């Protein structure tokens, strides 16, 4: 039992899900993680195992093929995958949470029955397409347009930085059906086979190289009218509504990176000797280990408590941003400390800490940058104190 679990206890189901994911991560993912990074390949074999284990639909009700797990279960899965490969955890989250769960949350019964069973089993993969080349952090400023023509919507525009963009079969896509602003945005289920749809080649990235990131193109793309999620004009609400969930569950990714880095640093520090002593006995090394352990502990407290709050159906905007900001920045600092402890060996690929560091940097950017999180946090603090800006 970790120190965090003594404060926020896990249920038997959550422990079982964590242990199952840990076995898959250590047995199937760890041996190929370096190769996935070097070749920039998606872990198809690992995702097959995750699908067979019922983990790809972890937060989806059983009636739609899911496992009805808790949000904390989802955080634990992200941790265990990221401990060995951040990119695989990223693609898992993009599929299971912002793709599949958002589709479940906003879809009607017919849409759920049509798409969710295959997404939960891994027969198909999902993705979430909001970001565009010109809008970045201004998520509601998107320019992709959708025009209704008879029984179809015609989409024109482009999306960028789409996780799983080259492998996904089912996309939740946001397009403008009305005037500027959030109320003019609608959401659609778009299949890869839709006429007028295309995805670009995976981008060459600094980290998260096992997770394909691509652009999407809509050139008079035809989407059946029944694939509209909710009603016209609700897409902006849907996108914003899902952010607390995304930021909370994705906090498991930097937590896993921190745990992986700490594991390597601890083992190395008791094996490596300098001046006749284990380097772990040096006070400055112990100082870095202490910082890594503290940041890992606090990150788990923030993420686990935010997940519990979400599970209870409570508003968790402040908790989610606390968790996302602290864990992401801590993962960058901790992976850099791990490299420092290993010295020159930390800088080469023989040890995985340099890969974990490269993976960590993205979590300060994706899902809302650290700067955006600080704005959200400050506004929530004013709000909670009954003050207006």
**Catalytic annotation, pick one of 80, 246, 329, 364:** 246
Look at residue 389 and tell me if it is in a domain.
no
**Composition of the chain by helix, strand, coil, percent to 5:** 55, 15, 30
Q: Do 94 and 193 belong together in one domain? A: no
Pairing, β 126-129 against β 145-149:
unpaired
**pLDDT score at 135:** 76
Rounded to whole angstroms, the Cα distance separating 91 from 82 reads 10
Give the separation between CA 200 and CA 180, rounded to whole angstroms. Answer: 27
* Domain edge (last residue) among 223, 239, 255: 239
By residue range, what is the domain housing residue 95?
A: 3-125
Give the Cα separation of 168 and 190 in Å (integer).
10
Does 10 reside within a domain?
yes
Query: Same structural domain for residues 256 and 377?
Result: yes
Q: The domain spanning residue 307 has which CATH number?
A: 1.20.140.10
Give me the pLDDT at residue 185, please: 94
Q: Which of 89, 91, 94, 66 is nearest to 78 (CA)?
A: 89
234 in any annotated domain: yes
- Point out the domain boundary residue: 103, 125, 147: 125
Kindly state whether residues 326 and 234 are assigned to the same domain: no
User: What's this model's pTM, rounded to 2 decimal places?
Assistant: 0.94
CATH number where 69 lies: 1.10.540.10
Whether the CB-CB separation of 215 and 166 falls below 8 Å is answered with: no
Cα distances (angstroms) measured from residue 358 to each of 9, 21, 213, 265? 32, 23, 15, 16
Q: Are residues 268 and 372 in the same domain?
A: yes
List Cβ neighbours of 174 (8 Å cut-off, separation of 6 or more): 129, 130, 142, 144, 185, 186, 187, 188, 235, 236, 238, 239
Is 203 in contact with 159 (CB distance < 8 Å)? no
Please check whether residue 368 is in contact with residue 247, taking contact to mean a CB–CB distance below 8 angstroms: yes
Are residues 279 and 315 located together in one domain of the fold? yes
Separation of alpha carbons 205 and 292, rounded Å:
26
| 153 and 112 co-located in one domain | no
Domain shared by 92 and 140, yes or no: no
Please identify, among 105, 125, 145, the residue that sits at the C-terminal boundary of a domain: 125
Question: Residue 137's pLDDT is what?
Answer: 64
- Residue 84 maps to a domain: yes
**Would you state the pLDDT for residue 311?**
93
Same domain, residue pair 76 and 195: no
User: What CATH number does residue 213 fall under?
Assistant: 2.40.110.10
Give a yes or no: residue 379 inside a domain: yes
Cα(251)–Cα(369) distance, integer angstroms: 13
Provide DSSP, 251-305.
THHHHHHHHHHHHHHHHHHHH-EETTEEGGGSHHHHHHHHHHHHHHHHHHHHHHH
- How, if at all, do strands 126-129 and 170-176 pair? parallel
Residue 357 lies in a domain: yes
pLDDT tens for the 389 residues of the chain, in order: 566 666 788 999 999 999 999 999 999 999 999 999 999 999 999 999 999 999 999 999 999 999 999 999 999 999 999 999 999 999 999 999 989 999 999 999 999 999 999 999 999 999 999 999 877 666 677 889 999 999 999 999 999 999 999 999 999 999 999 888 778 999 999 999 999 999 999 999 999 999 999 999 999 999 999 999 999 999 988 888 888 889 999 999 999 999 999 999 999 999 999 899 999 999 999 999 999 999 999 999 999 999 999 999 999 999 999 999 999 999 999 999 999 999 999 999 888 999 999 999 999 998 889 999 999 999 999 999 999 88
pLDDT value for 3 = 66
Are residue 137 and residue 42 in the same domain, yes or no? no
- pLDDT score recorded for residue 134: 78
Same domain, 120 and 172: no
Kindly state whether residues 227 and 279 are assigned to the same domain.
no
Q: CA–CA separation, 115 vs 230, rounded Å?
A: 15
Is position 187 within any domain? yes
Element (H, E) at 357: helix 353-362
What is residue 241's predicted lDDT score, i.e. its pLDDT? 82
| Domain match, 59 and 116 both | yes
Q: How many domains does the chain have?
A: 3
> Quick check: is 246 catalytic?
yes
């Amino acid at each position: 039992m970790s120190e965090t679990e003594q404060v926020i206890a896990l249920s038997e189901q959550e422990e079982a899900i964590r242990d199952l994911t840990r076995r898959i991560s250590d047995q199937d993912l760890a041996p190929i993680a370096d190769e996935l990074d070097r070749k920039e390949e998606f872990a198809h074999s690992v995702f097959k195992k995750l699908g067979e284990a019922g983990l790809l639909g972890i937060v989806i009700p059983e009636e739609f093929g899911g496992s009805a797990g808790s949000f904390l279960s989802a955080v634990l899965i992200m941790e265990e995958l990221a401990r060995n490969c951040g990119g695989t955890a990223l693609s898992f989250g993009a599929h299971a949470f912002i793709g599949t769960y958002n589709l479940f949350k906003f879809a009607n019964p017919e849409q759920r029955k049509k798409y969710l069973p295959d997404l939960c089993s891994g027969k198909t993969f999902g993705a979430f397409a909001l970001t565009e080349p010109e809008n970045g952090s201004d998520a509601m400023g998107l320019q992709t347009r959708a025009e209704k023509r008879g029984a179809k919507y015609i989409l024109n525009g482009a999306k960028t930085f789409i996780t799983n963009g080259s492998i996904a079969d089912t996309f939740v896509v946001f397009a403008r059906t009305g005037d500027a602003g959030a109320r003019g945005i609608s959401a659609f289920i778009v299949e890869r086979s839709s006429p007028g749809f295309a995805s670009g080649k995976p981008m060459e990235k600094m980290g998260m190289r096992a997770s394909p990131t691509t652009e999407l193109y809509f050139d008079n793309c035809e989407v059946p009218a029944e694939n509209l999620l909710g009603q016209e004009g609700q897409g902006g609400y849907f996108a914003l509504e899902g952010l607390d969930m995304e930021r909370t569950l994705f906090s498991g990714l930097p937590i896993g990176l921190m745990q992986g880095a700490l594991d390597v640093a601890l083992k190395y520090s008791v094996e490596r000797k300098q001046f006749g002593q284990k380097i772990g006995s040096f006070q400055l090394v112990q100082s870095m280990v202490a910082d890594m352990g503290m940041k890992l502990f606090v990150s788990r407290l923030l993420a686990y408590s935010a997940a519990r709050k979400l599970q209870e159906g409570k508003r968790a905007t402040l908790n989610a941003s606390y968790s996302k900001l602290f864990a992401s920045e801590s993962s960058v600092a901790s992976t850099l400390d791990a490299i420092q402890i290993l010295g020159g060996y930390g800088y080469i690929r023989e040890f995985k800490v340099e890969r974990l560091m490269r993976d960590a940097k993205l979590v300060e950017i994706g899902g809302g940058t650290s700067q955006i999180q600080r704005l959200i946090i400050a506004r929530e603090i004013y709000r909670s104190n009954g003050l207006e800006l």
